[in-house]
Each structure stands twice: as C-alpha cells, then as structure tokens.
C-alpha cells in the first residue's frame, strides 16, 4: 500500500471554462470527489486540493486530488510542488488530460509519452520529464475550418453530452483501478466508449462445377 498518490486534472480556472473540452481533467476529478462524497477542499500550491483516505477496496492509503488554479500551460509547477512536498516519485502522479487526437469517448492510459502538442503536458514535462502516467480523454477534432482554440475552449454539443458524460464516468472507473490495481491492469479501460463492431466475415462460395457432357458427370479423361 502506497502512502500517497496524486491525481491531477488539467483545466483552466474560472466559470467561463466550466464544462469545456479543455477541462476534462477537472470534470474527472470533480466526478471522483462526488462519487466518494469528498467535500473538504483547500487551496495549496496554487491549486484546489482535496486529501482522500482511499477505502481498502480501492487499495487503501491516501490520494491527493488536484485542480490547478493557474492556466493549463502552467500546470507543471503545481505537480512539481505537490510531489516535492510529499517526497513522492513521479510514478505516483496520474495526470488526467483532454486529447484532440482521440475520438470523443476514447480513453488512453499510458505510463509515459510525449506532450502530443498539449501545453499542459508540455509544462509538466519541462518541470518533471516525460516519465509520468497520464490518462488521455478523447474530445474529438474540430470541423474543417473551425478554429481549434475555440473548439477546445468550448463546451460539448448537446448531441455529444451523453458520450461526454459516459466518458467521464469511465475515466473515474479507470482512476479507481489505477489506485487499486496499478497501471498495467487499469489499461483495460483503454479504447473507444463502445467496442467497434466486428468486421463482417467473408462469404465463402464453392467453386462452380462444370456442366456434364453427354449426360455423364465430369471426370478424368480416359
């Protein structure tokens, strides 16, 4: 049982960003807190912080929920300060983040990796290096001609809301599995919200039998 682990959701502070695609990390942290009845938030390290006594069924120990109060591109300082305070290795940090390159609802948990163009991950990497676990949440891509910044800072369309909510719930399940079972097992949550339908099996047809000649069945010549 580990003494402390940190779950950091990436997002922007302020009412105007609540529920936006770029704030998927905040949505997951809030949903995790709501699921377990956590309400004792405090401010520390320029973040909203909630310390959680993890129940034995989820691995026990403690977890720290973090929502930076700085903009996305300054997330690294919050992660660095929390890890330093608790003297934790970087492997005890899980970052939850939105991803433009994944379809809406798709989850991808990895032990490390590149920033993939995300300014929040880029700042964390600059402070701590790339070897930290991250849970990427697919938000889809903007339509052709649509402004990318406006897309990520905007909310989900009404017809996307059911999938967005289901993705957040699945991400909370994944975070709980990470706490309880570790990274390798919790990777089972990777993939689209709904499994892809199986490819149709090819229809096998028997080769055509040549017609009989003079009323006789075809056979070897004599």
Per residue in 146-174, pLDDT (tens digit) is 889 999 999 999 999 999 999 999 999 99
Nearest CA-CA partner of 117 in 141, 145, 133, 94 = 141
Query: In this structure, is the dihedral angle defined by the CA atoms of residues 28, 73, 82 and 90, taken in order, positive or negative?
Result: positive
Structure confidence at residue 35 (pLDDT): 96
Q: Tell me the domain boundaries of the chain.
A: 4-189
DSSP string covering 77-120? HHHHHHHHHHT--GGGEEEEEEETTS-TT-EEEESS---TT-HH
Structure confidence at residue 145 (pLDDT): 86
**Active site positions, annotated:** 22
> Are 129 and 90 in contact, with CB atoms under 8 Å apart?
yes
Structure confidence at residue 113 (pLDDT): 87
Mark the ranges of the chain whose per-residue pLDDT is less than 70: 1-2, 196-199, 206, 208-222
Question: Length of the chain, please?
Answer: 222
Give tens-digit pLDDT for 114-125.
Answer: 888 898 999 999
CATH of 4-189, one of 3.40.50.2000, 2.40.240.10, 3.40.50.1470, 1.10.357.10: 3.40.50.1470
> Are 159 and 77 in contact, with CB atoms under 8 Å apart?
no
Residue 158 dihedral angles phi and psi, to the nearest 5°? -55, -40
Residues 6 or more apart in contact with residue 30 via CB below 8 angstroms: 9, 67
């Amino acid at each position: 049982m580990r003494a402390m682990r940190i779950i950091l959701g990436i997002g922007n502070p302020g009412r105007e960003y609540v529920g936006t695609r770029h704030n998927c990390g905040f949505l997951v942290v809030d949903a995790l807190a709501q699921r377990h009845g956590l309400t004792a938030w405090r401010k520390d390290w320029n973040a909203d912080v909630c310390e959680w006594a993890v129940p034995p069924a989820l691995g026990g120990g403690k977890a720290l929920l973090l929502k930076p109060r700085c903009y996305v591109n300054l997330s690294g300082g919050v992660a660095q300060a929390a890890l330093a305070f608790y003297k934790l290795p970087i492997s005890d940090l899980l970052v939850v983040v939105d991803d433009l390159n994944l379809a809406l609802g798709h989850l991808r948990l990895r032990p490390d990796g590149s920033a993939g163009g995300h300014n929040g991950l880029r700042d964390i990497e600059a402070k701590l290096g790339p070897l930290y676990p991250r849970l990427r949440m697919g938000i889809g891509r903007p339509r052709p001609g649509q402004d990318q910044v406006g897309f990520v800072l905007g909310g989900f369309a009404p017809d996307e809301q059911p999938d967005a909510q289901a993705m957040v719930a699945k991400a909370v399940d994944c975070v709980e599995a990470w706490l309880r079972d570790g990274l390798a097992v919790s990777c089972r949550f990777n993939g689209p919200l709904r499994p892809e339908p199986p490819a149709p099996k090819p229809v096998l047809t028997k080769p055509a039998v040549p017609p009989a000649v003079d009323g006789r069945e075809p056979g070897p010549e004599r």
